[in-house]
Copies of this chain bind each other. A is one copy, B any other.
């Protein structure tokens, strides 16, 4: 069992720290809320007066904070982690922060002779309580191997995201997709309601198609991801159907800003000569618009 500094005892951090104690680890904890600290002390943790004190003698340091500026401060301030940290320790930032900030943290720690990896988590505070979080580990093979026993005391599944900074990257991609998809789903559901169509019927149909199942596992794998742009469903037709949906929505006053933006993407794909390619070629269109073509 390890000596662990845990800094940041909020809605997620508190139950995560609690699970580490239950597994037999020795914790020195810090938070700006003394109530949060007391709650952990009651479970067996030691209270630290500041991040430096928490980090003293630690084999692992875990930070679980609201943003990257706070992580920087906790690490590098006068009474910060680094002022007391052993070069042999491993710092794991489990916060959800800006990935380019993570990159700077990794570099700045390395420059000082310290080791930091990213390991943000998926799922909710209920999962944090139950110790069934999804751990998205970014780090060198050695860092991830060393961290795994500690991380798995808080979660039930660990994804090795493939290198330093990749944990926070995969978290960001996943959240981007699910958060924007949430807004798109709302547009479809509201159009459904405005059209007087049963949402149950819509779900019954969508859950058997890419509308409900997504494209990553249905329309893409055997098409664009293999370089095949031959049309199963042409971009011209997809553009037409999107136009009908927007026209109906605008007649019924249904707000469709994502759909409206999507139609312009299909329109640009047609302007690029892709009208008769498969709709999965939208991926190539967005790659081109982002300057990535030829950079594979």
Contacts and interface: CB of A to CB of B under 8 A. Distances in A.
Contacts of A159: 201, 204-205
Dominant secondary structure of chain A at its interface with chain B: helix
Contact of A182 (B157, B166, B210, B247): B210
A197 interface: yes
A240 to B, nearest CB: 8
A157 to B, nearest CB: 8
A22 interface: no
A62 to B, nearest CB: 20
Contacts of A182: 210, 215, 219, 238, 279-280, 282
Interface residues of A, number: 111
B202 A173 contact: yes
Of A202, A207, A244, A245, most buried by chain B (CB within 10 Å of CB) is A244
Interface stretch (A39-47, A82-90, A140-148, A262-270): A262-270
A130 interface: no
Given A238-B182, A242-B176, A260-B261, A197 B170 contact: yes
A80 interface: no
Contacts of A272: 291
A124 B233 CA distance: 7
B99 A195 contact: yes
Contacts of A265: 183, 186, 257-258
A23 interface: no
A277 to B, nearest CB: 12
Interface stretch (A25-33, A48-56, A248-256): A248-256
A193 B284 CA distance: 12
Contact of A201 (B99, B162, B213): B162
A286 interface: yes
B124 A166 contact: no
A184 B258 contact: yes
Contact of A174 (B136, B202, B258, B259): B202
Contacts of A183: 261-262, 265-266, 282, 286
Contact of A291 (B211, B250, B271): B271
Contact of A248 (B98, B191, B238, B285): B98
A243 B250 contact: yes
A101 to B, nearest CB: 9
Contact of A194 (B122, B213, B292): B292
A210 to B, nearest CB: 4
B209 A217 contact: no
Given A176-B259, A193-B292, A203-B217, 16 more contacts: A136-B205, A172-B191, A177-B211, A180-B259, A181-B210, A183-B286, A184-B262, A190-B290, A190-B292, A206-B216, A214-B214, A239-B250, A255-B267, A257-B257, A260-B261, A268-B289
